[in-house]
Amino acid sequence: MYMVGAYIVSTLTGMRYPDFVNSRIFKPLGMTSSTYSIDAALQTGRFTNTWTSFGRLIPPWIEENSVDITAGPGGVISSVKDLARHVICGT
Looking at the whole model, is its pTM more than 0.85?
no
Q: Where are the domains of the chain?
A: 2-89
**What's residue 2's pLDDT?**
87
Task: Name, in order, each residue with C-beta under 8 angstroms of 60's C-beta and a sequence gap of 6 or more.
Answer: 38, 49
| Binned average pLDDT, 10 residues per bin, the chain of 91 residues | 90 95 93 90 86 88 80 87 82 54
Which amino acid is it at 45?
G
Distance CA 56, CA 7 (A): 35
